[in-house]
Amino acid sequence: MSLLEIKNLHASVEGHEILKGIDLTINAGEVHSIMGPNGSGKSTLAQVLSRHPAYEVTAGQAVYNGKDLWEMKPEEAACEGIFLAFQYPVEIPGIGNAYFLRSALNAIRKYKGEDEMDAMDFLPMFREKLKLLEMDDKLMSRSVNEGFSGGEKKRNEILQMAVLEPRLAILDETDSGLDIDALKIVAKGVNALRNKDRAMLVVTHYQRLLNYIVPDFVHVLVDGRIVRSGGKELALELEEKGYVYEHEARQAMLA
């Protein structure tokens, strides 16, 4: 059974249809990349899958781990193992990073019927993950993302992912705004989490990230539809010819 199977997904925000019929199947252990130009619906797909209430699903099915994804609230999707690394991580003054993360972990553990983790058990595990992302301990006593640099925010997303250990990780333009060193650290963090049970959906505009997080499948999203799918070599082709080529090819096909 697939981990996620999407059929004919249509989604709108504020009455505008953004996704216009998406079919996508992701199996455990696979890394899929969604590429496409700005405004093609990449981030919308990421938000819809993490159940953002502002996006309305107008048609189509999504079965995640044998369950109807559209029936889930954002927190339920999270507890079922879906994790979204935000394109723009949110600053939340007054809530400490470490406390936030432990609360999230315990919410998920509780959902699964596991015992909550106290601070004593949480800390050693947490420190381990911090090391993986090469993050400064001091950041964790601050409020969530408050005063973080762009790179620190993105690393913090991957840190959260490392702690929460999702089954399906969706990375929404995690590479944007990162210099090459930060990109390598983020990729190292992500690659450390790749395993046969976990799937990833890497949304990106640029091929660059895919040099470090090598996908099994690449899908090209243009104007709310997947216009092409292929292996990792497709990303390189796109880099060379650009999205315009894809778009024109599609227009020609429709004509």
CA distances from 15 to 8, 47, 222 (A): 18, 16, 19
Pairing of strands 31-35, 92-96: unpaired
Binding pattern to another protein, positions 49-88, x when CB under 8 A?
-xxxx-------------------xxx-xxx---xx-x--
Nearer to another protein, 85 or 213 (CB): 85
Binding residues for another protein, rule CB under 8 A, total 44
Residue 115 binding another protein, by CB under 8 A: no
Binding pattern to another protein, positions 217-246, x when CB under 8 A?
------------------------------
Distance of closest approach, residue 154 Cβ to another protein, in angstroms: 14
Residue 192 binding another protein, by CB under 8 A: no
Q: Which of 67, 68, 111, 245 binds another protein (CB under 8 A)?
A: 111
Residue 207 binding another protein, by CB under 8 A: no
User: What is the residue type of 147?
Assistant: G
Nearer to another protein, 93 or 231 (CB): 93
Distance of closest approach, residue 102 Cβ to another protein, in angstroms: 8
Q: What are the CB-based long-range contacts (under 8 Å, 24+) for 224-233?
A: 224/17, 224/18, 224/19, 224/20, 224/21, 224/22, 224/40, 224/41, 225/20, 225/21, 225/22, 226/22, 226/23, 226/24
Residue 107 binding another protein, by CB under 8 A: yes
102: Cα within 13 Å, side-chain hemisphere:
20
Q: How many CB atoms lie within 10 A of CB 245?
A: 12
Which helix (H) or strand (E) is 126 found in, with range?
A: helix 119-132
Beta bridge mates, 24: 6
As given in the structure block, the two tokens for residue 241 are: 């010819």
Residue 123 binding another protein, by CB under 8 A: yes
What is the C-alpha end-to-end distance of the chain, expressed in Å? 37
Nearer to another protein, 135 or 144 (CB): 144
Q: Which residues lie near another protein (CB under 8 A)? A: 50-53, 73-75, 77-79, 83-84, 86, 89-90, 92-96, 98-101, 103-105, 107-108, 110-111, 119-120, 122-123, 126-127, 137, 140-141, 143-144, 160, 164
